[in-house]
């Protein structure tokens, strides 16, 4: 019988169990594989990600602002061996007397580089925004701010933790030529699903 390797990732280490290292002991092979899988799941994330941990999961909410009243939600999930945090966001705006109903979707990847956190944002309207990310208030506020020198408006997205199951979101824009004059565009309240 040809030997097979069982590969299990534990933190940044890749461990293997060779199938023929445990001959005639199928139960022991299964238990060993479960033990390594449990160890991999229990491996701690890089401590620098701790302020972002409470975001992980699915959130729903309602908001208002320049696009109008709307509802939607987002998910946050760690990916690529916990080296990035992915946010997938969606919002639905009902029709009004001035415009038809519409939906918005976006994707943001938060990553660590050069000793700091950054994010890149893409949406269904074709926008791409590069953000610098900061954490303040003992991790209760996470803010994403685009560069002041970039062409077009400047953007600021702020999440504030309101307990274990609630967040507030504020998205602001500063007009071209006035990079510090932020005005509210959307405010929302999110609840953990």
pLDDT tens, the chain, 193 aa long = 455 555 555 555 555 555 555 555 665 556 555 555 555 554 446 889 999 999 999 999 999 988 889 999 999 999 999 999 999 999 999 999 999 999 999 999 999 999 999 999 999 999 999 999 999 988 899 999 999 988 889 999 999 999 889 999 999 999 999 999 999 999 999 999 9
Please tell me the distance from the alpha carbon of residue 193 to that of residue 56, in angstroms, as a whole number. 11
With beta carbons less than 8 A apart as the criterion, state whether 73 and 190 touch.
Answer: yes
- Phi/psi of residue 154, each to 5°? -105, 145
Please tell me the distance from the alpha carbon of residue 189 to that of residue 63, in angstroms, as a whole number. 6
**Tokens read off for 116:** 């700091």
Q: What pLDDT does residue 144 have? A: 98
- Phi/psi of residue 85, each to 5°? -115, 125
State the DSSP code for 100: -
Please tell me the distance from the alpha carbon of residue 21 to that of residue 114, in angstroms, as a whole number. 43
**What are 166's strand-pairing partners?**
191
Please tell me the distance from the alpha carbon of residue 14 to that of residue 25, in angstroms, as a whole number. 23
With beta carbons less than 8 A apart as the criterion, state whether 138 and 31 touch.
Answer: no
* Residue 41 CB coordination number (10 Å): 8
Q: What pLDDT does residue 44 have? A: 47
pTM of the model: 0.76
């Amino acid at each position: 019988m040809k030997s097979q390797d069982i590969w299990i990732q534990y933190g940044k280490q890749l461990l293997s169990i060779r199938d023929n290292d445990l001959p005639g002991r199928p139960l022991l092979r299964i238990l060993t594989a479960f033990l390594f899988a449990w160890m991999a799941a229990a491996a701690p994330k890089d401590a620098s990600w701790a302020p972002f941990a409470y975001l992980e999961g699915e959130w729903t909410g309602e908001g208002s602002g320049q696009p109008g009243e709307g509802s939607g939600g987002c998910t946050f999930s760690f990916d690529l061996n916990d080296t990035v945090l992915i946010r997938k966001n969606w919002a639905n705006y009902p029709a009004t007397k001035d415009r038809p109903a519409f939906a918005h979707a976006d994707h943001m990847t938060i990553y660590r580089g050069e000793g700091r956190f950054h994010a890149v944002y893409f949406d269904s309207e074709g926008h791409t925004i590069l953000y610098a990310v900061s954490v303040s208030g003992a991790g209760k506020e996470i803010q994403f701010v685009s560069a002041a020198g970039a062409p077009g408006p400047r953007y600021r997205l702020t999440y504030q933790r309101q307990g274990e199951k609630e967040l507030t979101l504020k998205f602001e824009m500063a007009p071209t030529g006035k990079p510090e004059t932020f005005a509210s565009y959307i405010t929302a309240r999110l609840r953990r699903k």
